[in-house]
Amino acid sequence: MAVVFAFACAGLLISFILPQKWTSAAVVTPPEPVQWQELEKTFTKLRVLDLDIKIDRTEAFNLFIKKFQSVSLLEEYLRSSPYVMDQLKEAKIDELDLHRAIVALSEK
């Protein structure tokens, strides 16, 4: 019992001492038919108004991937991210170097 308690205390101590670095991964998949139904209802309402939107699930998914991989949108996100900006402000770099750093990050 003492061994379990000792390892529990050691694990707790290590978790407080080590820096927290969280990572995550996401898998992006095309929308399922159930997820697409609400958008189809909206398309039906627009067709009544003579606005024919011609897009299917595959096209919507491809458009999302294209926008998701956009360097300019990623650069805009990095500029608005408080975490990234805090890290770069601590480095005390000028505006040109900041722009170069953000572009370099967004191209990776």
pLDDT in tens, 58-100: 888 888 888 777 777 777 777 777 877 777 777 777 777 777 7
Stated length of the chain: 108
Average pLDDT over the chain, rounded to an integer = 80
The pLDDT-based confidence of 108 (bands split at 50, 70, 90) is low
pTM score of the predicted model = 0.45
Number of neighbouring beta carbons within 10 Å of residue 102: 20
Mean pLDDT check: name the lowest of 12-16, 25-29, 90-94. Answer: 90-94
Reply yes or no on whether the pLDDT at 106 is more than 70. no
Give the per-residue pLDDT at 6.
92
Mean pLDDT of 5-19: 86
Mean pLDDT check: name the lowest of 6-10, 49-53, 69-73. Answer: 69-73
Could you tell me the CA-to-CA distances from 28 to 19, 33, 55, 68, 89 in Å, in that order? 29, 15, 19, 10, 32
